Amino acid sequence: MRKFIFNTSVLSSVFGAVGIAKQTKEGPRDWRLILMWISWAITVAIAVGTVVEQSREHELDEY
């Protein structure tokens, strides 16, 4: 779990939700809002996938 918390790509993608949440609260609700949330979800998935892949590579290097 620590590897996800301290990874900068995961942190930046999670904190990106703050801006989208603010936009959701204050802005118009149209198709662009849906695309912003989808884009954010993809960004989080890529960041988490990258951390998992780096962790696997690090475990293989130890052996």
Model confidence at 57, pLDDT cuts 50, 70, 90, reads confident
Distances from the Cα of 53 to the Cα of 5, 45, 47, angstroms: 15, 12, 10
Spatial contact of 48 and 32, defined as CB atoms under 8 Å apart:
no
Specify the pTM.
0.78
Overall size of the chain counted in residues: 63
pLDDT on residue 34:
94
pLDDT on residue 33:
93
Report the distance separating Cα 62 and Cα 46, nearest Å: 24
Query: What average pLDDT does the chain have?
Result: 86
Distances from the Cα of 63 to the Cα of 5, 24, 44, 53, 58, angstroms: 25, 47, 29, 16, 9
pLDDT on residue 21:
93
Q: What is the pLDDT of residues 4-25, one digit of tens each?
A: 777 888 888 888 899 999 999 9
